Structure 1
Amino acid sequence: MTKPTRTRRADALEDPALLRRLLRAKDRIDAASHEAWPVRRLAEVSGVSEAHFARSFKRAFGVPPHRYLLTRRIEQAITLLRDTELAITDIAFATGWESLGTFGRIFRDITGLSPSGMRVRARADQAALDRVPACMLKAAQRPHLTIAVLKKRRRVASE
Structure 2
Amino acid sequence: MDREYAQPLNVDALARDVNMSAGHLSRRFKAAYGESPYSYLMTRRIERAMALLRLGELSVTEVCFAVGCQSLGTFSTRFTELVGVSPSVYRRDAAPEVAGLPSCVAKQITRPIRNREASV
TM-score normalised by structure 2 residue count: 0.86
Q: 1:63 is paired with a residue of what secondary structure? A: coil
Q: Deviations over 1:90-130 (max 9, x none)?
A: 11011111111111111111111111111122112133xx2
> Counterpart in 2 of 1:86?
58
Shift of 1:139: 2.8
Q: List 4+ stretches of structure 1 deviating above 4 A.
A: none
When residues 126 and 140 of structure 1 are mapped into structure 2, their CA distance, relative to the original with a 3 A threshold, is closer
Where do 5+ consecutive residues of structure 1 fail to align? 1-28
Which protein has the bigger helix share? 1
How many residue pairs align between the two structures? Answer: 120
Letter in 1 for 2:109: A
Shift of 1:134: 3.7
TM-score normalised by structure 1 residue count: 0.67
**In 1, Cα distance between equivalents of 2:4 and 2:75:** 17
> Counterpart in 1 of 2:111?
142
> Counterpart in 1 of 2:68?
96
Letter in 2 for 1:118: Y
Matched, 1:51 2:23: yes
Of the two structures, which has the highest relative contact order with CA contacts closer than 8 Å and spacing of 6 or more? 2
Where do 5+ consecutive residues of structure 2 fail to align? none
> Counterpart in 2 of 1:68?
40
Shift of 1:135: 3.4
